[in-house]
Amino acid sequence: MSWWVSLWNHREQPTVLALLRIGVGLVLLVDFGRAAWLGVVPQLWAPDELGGLGSKVTAREPPLLIYELLPHSVDSAWLAYGVLVTALVCFTLGLGTRVAGLVALLTYAALAKVLPLGDRGIDLMMRNVLLVLSLSRSHAAWSLDARIRTGSWFGDGQTVPAWPRHLLILQLVVMYFLAGVQKTALSWTPLGGYSALYLVLQDPHIARFDMSWLSGWAYPLSQVATATTHLFEWTAPLTLLAYHYRDTAHRPGRLRAWSQRWRPHWWWIGVGALLHLGIWMTMDIGIFPWAMLLLYPAWFHPDELQAAWRKLSGLHAAPAPGLPEAQPGLFERDAQSFSDGVLDREGLERPDSRAVIEPR
């Protein structure tokens, strides 16, 4: 039980949580901002008797909260929309972050009730993330709250609870795995010739451009992409095993040693990033690919991002902007792990850097 308590009691620098807050806020602002840009706010969220697409807003049981509190009018739809966008702006900037996040979450959910057919799977995912980040201390860095409280945009350098990031990692693993489980059509299997993505990309409502060329020499590429996607989703839980092996590197076992040497979870994360970039390049399905990619910082420990920044930028004397110095001795071991793929036992057993489901 002690390892479980240690996992959820872990603390770290707030930089990754801040990145997640900013990324999620921006992608939602772009998504809802497009509704105003296209002039469809009344059509999406006004009462049905005034031209809204929601089904029988006035006859719902139980009644919708928005139209219990507000008059049945187009102005009410614009007011609810304005509250959501304002809350998202404050959440992204880190001003009254927790209150702003919860207001955004509740308004987001209320608008989803007005138009259930417009509530996508990625919307549900983003609401889950909003809830977790609103309960976190993502505002402890890179926020107006931090600036007001400490006089610095980067906060006071104090560590914050890491459980929100751990919970988001678990959310991602569950989401990917269940997505794989639900792909039961034969087209996702050898029996169907791994033809699922080819079929999807022939739908003009989904394909970003004409993909008929896939029926020729490129068809095997779509089969490889289909098989890779399915395998990627089914193997999501194995990332947790890889993190466990990392934290128990002092124990014997060939599989554990292999995992420490080759870091399979890093390869898996890379495949996921390429998968979402591929979706963005070939399919027009809204914010899904970028919303998912902007959650990927959750896979990384702040010390790992700092080490990566130094390695890529060649800056050996100063950390990346907003990334405080790692504790003495910890960064050196983390940086070395980038080159040799092995972390020593002492580093793994440090209570401030242990976690079963978090990559350091």
pLDDT of residue 9: 85
Q: Flag whether pLDDT at 194 surpasses 70.
A: yes
Mean pLDDT, residues 82-96: 97
Lowest-pLDDT range, 106-110, 149-153, 200-204, 249-253? 249-253
Q: Flag whether pLDDT at 88 surpasses 60.
A: yes
Q: Flag whether pLDDT at 316 surpasses 80.
A: no
Total residue length of the chain: 360
Query: Which residues on adjacent β-strands are paired with residue 12?
Result: 160
pLDDT > 70 fraction of the chain, expressed in percent and rounded:
85
DSSP string, 179-232: HHHT--SGGGSGGGTT-HHHHHTT-TTTBSS--GGGGTTTHHHHHHHHHHHHHH
pLDDT of residue 58: 66
3-state per-residue secondary structure call for 146-181: HHHHHCCCCCCCCCEECHHHHHHHHHHHHHHHHHHH
The two structure tokens encoding residue 278: 């591929």
Confidence band for 132, pLDDT divided at 50, 70 and 90: very high
pLDDT of residue 244: 83
347: Cα within 13 Å, side-chain hemisphere: 19
Q: Where are the alpha helices (DSSP H) in the chain?
A: 2-8, 15-37, 41-45, 65-69, 74-93, 97-114, 121-134, 144-150, 163-181, 196-200, 219-234, 238-247, 254-262, 264-282, 288-293, 302-313, 330-340, 345-348
Closest-CA residue to 48 (of 37, 60, 36, 38): 60
Q: Flag whether pLDDT at 324 surpasses 80.
A: no
Q: Flag whether pLDDT at 327 surpasses 60.
A: no
Helix axes 97-114, 74-93, angle to 10 degrees: 150
- Are 198 and 227 in contact, with CB atoms under 8 Å apart? no
Confidence band for 321, pLDDT divided at 50, 70 and 90: low
Lowest-pLDDT range, 43-52, 85-94, 170-179, 342-351? 342-351
Interval 155-169: pLDDT, tens? 998 999 999 999 999
Q: Beta-carbon neighbour count of residue 215 at 10 Å?
A: 11
- More confident site: 3 or 354: 3
Q: Flag whether pLDDT at 198 surpasses 70.
A: yes
Q: Flag whether pLDDT at 322 surpasses 90.
A: no
Distance CA 45, CA 121 (A): 18
Confidence band for 55, pLDDT divided at 50, 70 and 90: low
pLDDT of residue 351: 39
